[in-house]
Structure 1
Amino acid sequence: MNQKLNETQRKILNTASDLFYQKGTQHVGINEVIATSGVAKRTLYRWFASKDELIEAVMKHRAMQWLEWFEVAVEDRGNTAKDRLLATFDVLEEWYADPSFRGCPFINVVLEIADASHPAHHISMSVRESIRQYVMRLATEAGVREPEAFSQQYLLLIGGASLMATIEGKSDGAGFARNTLSVLIEAG
C-alpha cells in the first residue's frame, strides 16, 4: 500500500488500529470497523480487499508511527548516545503508564495470529529488528564493546518490561530494565 494515504484510508486505518489494539484483531470484525469509522462497506473494500489486508495495512501504519515516535522521543531526551540508550526506558515507562496502554501491539498481534507466515508477523519482526538496529547504533556510539550482543540483550529487557507492564498494569518494569541497561552499558 502506498504511503500516501487519503483522508478516508487514514480514517479506516486509524479506526481499525484503535479497535484492534483495544479488543484484539481476532475480536474485531470488518462490520465493526465499518460502523465505527462511518465509511461504506464498498469504500472499505475498495482499499482493503480482506480483513488480512486491513490487518497488514494497520500494522505497517502503526509500525511507521510507533518507530518514529520512539526515536524522536528518545533523541529529545539525551545529549549523548549513553543518555539516549537509558532514555529509551524513560520513554517506554511513560507509554506503559498511559491508561490506554494494552500491551505492545506488535507482540499482541503475533500472539493472536499464530500463523508465522502472516504479514503481521513479519511486520512485527521488522519492528523488533528496527529497534535492535537503532539500539546497536547507539551502543556503538556509546563505545559499548559488543554492540551486537548488547542489542540482543536490550531486546530481552524491552520484552520483559513490556510484558510486566501488560500483566501487572504498572510501569515499574521500565525502571528495572533501565537499571539493568545501565549495568550492561558500564560493563561493556
Structure 2
Amino acid sequence: MTEDEARERILTAAEQLYYRKGYAAVGMDELRQVAGVSLRRLYSLFPAKTDIVAAVLARKHAQWESGLAEAVTEAGGDPRARLLAVYGYLENWFCADDFRGCAFINAFGELGGTNPEVAEIVRAHKASFQRYMADLVAETGAPAALAAQLSILAEGAQSTAAISADPAVAVQARGAAEVLIDAAFARS
C-alpha cells in the first residue's frame, strides 16, 4: 500500500468514525483497525490526533464548499433563488441517513475548548461560509446585513436538525429566509 493509499484509508476511516461516534470517543487503535494500517504507519503519516482531525476537517470543508456552490449554481441566475438554494442544500443534507449535524460544530463542542488549533479551523470554516453568503447577498444588491442574518439562520438550522433529528427544520429555515429576503429586497 502506498503512502497516499494509506493516508486516504486513514482519513476515510477517521471521517466516518468521528462523525458517527465523536472525535474524543475514537482512539488511535480503533482508527488503525478500521483503516487497516499499522499503528506505526498511522503515526508516521499523522504524528498526533490533532493532525488527523485537521485533515478530516479540511476534507469536510472542501466537500461543504463544493456541494453548496453546486446547489447555488444549479439554482440559475435569479438572485433570490440562489440565496434560497442554500436552504435546499441543507434540506438534502439533513435528509441523509447518516446526518449527525455539522462536523465543525461537533468538533468545536468536543475539542474547541482545549485545542486552539481545532477551534481556529472551525472559526475559519464558519467565516468562509459567512463570506460566501455575503458574496451571494452582494450580487442581489440587498443590504449587507442580510448575509449575517441568513448565515445565522443556516447555522441554527444545522444545530436544530441535529438535535431534533427532524429534516423539516430546513424547510422552516427556508421559510424564515424567504421572509428576510423579501423584506431586504423591499427596503433596497
Counterpart in the other structure of 1:186 = 182
Conserved? CA contact 1:95–1:101, under 8 Å: yes
SS at match of 2:75: coil
Normalising by structure 2, what TM-score? Answer: 0.91
Counterpart in the other structure of 2:64 = 66
Conserved? CA contact 2:133–2:151, under 8 Å: no
Counterpart in the other structure of 2:105 = 107
CA distance in 2, matches of 1:71, 1:112: 28
Conserved? CA contact 1:82–1:138, under 8 Å: no
Distance 1:97 1:24, change over 3 A: same
Code of the aligned partner of 1:154: L
CA distance in 1, matches of 2:109, 2:58: 17
In the TM superposition, what whole-angstrom CA distance separates every residue of 1:2-35 from its partner, at most 9, and x where no partner exists? xxx8222121111101100000000000111100
CA distance in 2, matches of 1:56, 1:37: 17
Deviation at 1:97, TM superposition (A): 0.9
CA distance in 1, matches of 2:177, 2:115: 33
Deviation at 1:118, TM superposition (A): 2.4
Conserved? CA contact 1:82–1:139, under 8 Å: no
CA distance in 2, matches of 1:6, 1:73: 30
2:151 to 129, 150, 155: 155
CA RMSD in angstroms, aligned pairs only? 1.5
Instruction: Out of 171-180 and 104-113, give the one that drifted further.
Output: 171-180
Is 1:176 the counterpart of 2:182? The answer is no
Code of the aligned partner of 2:116: H
Conserved? CA contact 1:86–1:178, under 8 Å: yes
CA distance in 2, matches of 1:83, 1:54: 37
SS at match of 1:27: coil
1:20 to 18, 31, 35: 18
Deviation at 1:59, TM superposition (A): 1.1
SS at match of 1:43: helix
Query: What are structure 2's unaligned runs of at least 5 residues?
Result: none
Counterpart in the other structure of 1:50 = 48
List aligned pairs for 1:2-17, cutoff 5 A: 6-17=4-15
Sequence identity (%): 33
Query: What are structure 1's unaligned runs of at least 5 residues?
Result: none
Deviation at 1:57, TM superposition (A): 1.5
Deviation at 1:79, TM superposition (A): 2.7
Deviation at 1:116, TM superposition (A): 6.2
Deviation at 1:117, TM superposition (A): 4.9
CA distance in 1, matches of 2:115, 2:43: 23
CA distance in 1, matches of 2:158, 2:31: 27
